Amino acid sequence: MCPQPDPVSVPPGEPKLLDQLSGRLRVKHYSIRTEQAYVDWVRRFVLFHDKRHPRELGPTEVEAFLTDLAVRRRVSASTQNQAKSAILFLYKEVINKELPWLNGVVAARVSQRLPVVLSVEEVNAALGGLRGTPALVARLLYGSGLRILECLRLRVKDVDFARREILVRDGKGAKDRVTMLPETLIEPLQRHLVRVSELHGEDIAAGYGTVYLPYALDRKYPNAGRQWMWQYVFPSARLSKDPRSDVVRRHHADEKPIQRALQSALRAAGIHKPATPHTLRHSFATHLLQNGYDIRTVQELLGHADVSTTMIYTHVLNRGGRGVQSPLDAH
């Protein structure tokens, strides 16, 4: 079987376009998931136009690609906008070509849907059906308002038991924030970390034990990757090869088992809402507002850049239907 040709031919000695893209994304400290997504979108863009180099393409070709995604492939607006962002990054950061027209390409309008929220009773029923690590993760999502990847990427040093707080590093928008650590989770989390520490000790004894460090800190501090404070609070159950460096190490836990466990717990509790782990974050915000906490405080705990994003949770305050009493109930 003949190997497939590269999507774009490049002069001898020059790095391949997709390799250049990956390298630039790493220099700019984009996450591995964003890197993989952007590389995939640029590959699709090039193949869509019969492997022509992006330098030869213009606004017509970009519009055609994005239109095909929306019309023929029927992707969501957020997916279409991610593809546009990948192409924009390619031209600005890799090809070094300022293209004013690309900023003018109309972004797909993302629908503004109200978040799914569980009642306090539903949250308790769902959490009661979870065991082990999924139970602890789900309680942190609801008790601290974390996004699932923010929770799974926590390092040991990010949890401050004395101050009862969690430091979320590099959250959405590459911003740090502080949120609360629920009192009821202190003891379970400490017991969990004892087991994680034992696992870390076993990895070190087996010749592993290093963890991925952001911002090339492993080159600046060669031994930091073995230190306890840098280890993930929720490590993966198995070792794997880091796609960025080919180093075998223990990454953080995957979110899919958490999602499946929560779905099973919801079904067992007879809850028929389209809930996900992110629903627990929505419920955290809504229940705080219901309990009378200031919306600016909730905004800071959630890490929202604009309070208008937090305002969406006010739709469930007091009563449904925007808190308006139906005339049928007035009689």
Is 327 inside a domain boundary? no
C-alpha to C-alpha distance for 264 and 262, rounded to whole angstroms: 5
Catalytic residue flag (residue 260): no
Select which of 139, 200, 249, 281 is catalytic. Answer: 281
Q: How does pLDDT run across 47-68, given as a tens digit for each residue?
A: 999 999 998 888 888 888 988 8
Q: How does pLDDT run across 2-51, given as a tens digit for each residue?
A: 444 445 555 555 579 999 999 999 888 788 889 999 999 999 999 999 99
Catalytic residue flag (residue 153): no
- Among 71, 104, 137, residue at a domain's last position: 104
- 96: domain CATH number? 1.10.150.130
* pLDDT: which is higher, 152 or 245: 152
Catalytic residue flag (residue 251): no
Residues 233 and 274 in one domain: yes
- Among 79, 104, 129, residue at a domain's last position: 104
pLDDT at residue 48 in the model: 94
Is 322 inside a domain boundary? no
Residues 227 and 299 in one domain: yes
- 289: domain CATH number? 1.10.443.10
Q: Which of 192-206, 233-247, 309-323 has the lowest mean pLDDT?
A: 309-323
51: containing domain: 17-104
For residue 77, name the pLDDT band (cuts at 50, 70, 90): confident
Number of structural domains (the chain) is 2
Q: How does pLDDT run across 91-105, given as a tens digit for each residue?
A: 989 998 776 666 655
Q: How does pLDDT run across 267-326, given as a tens digit for each residue?
A: 999 999 999 999 999 999 999 998 889 999 999 999 998 888 888 887 666 455 555 555
Catalytic residue flag (residue 272): no
Residues 159 and 296 in one domain: yes
How high does pLDDT run on average in the chain? 86
Select which of 52, 172, 192, 226 is catalytic. Answer: 172
Select which of 44, 84, 139, 147 is catalytic. Answer: 147
Residues 290 and 153 in one domain: yes
Catalytic residue flag (residue 172): yes
Catalytic residue flag (residue 155): no
Is 182 inside a domain boundary? yes
258 pLDDT exceeds 90? yes
Residues 89 and 166 in one domain: no
Is 173 inside a domain boundary? yes
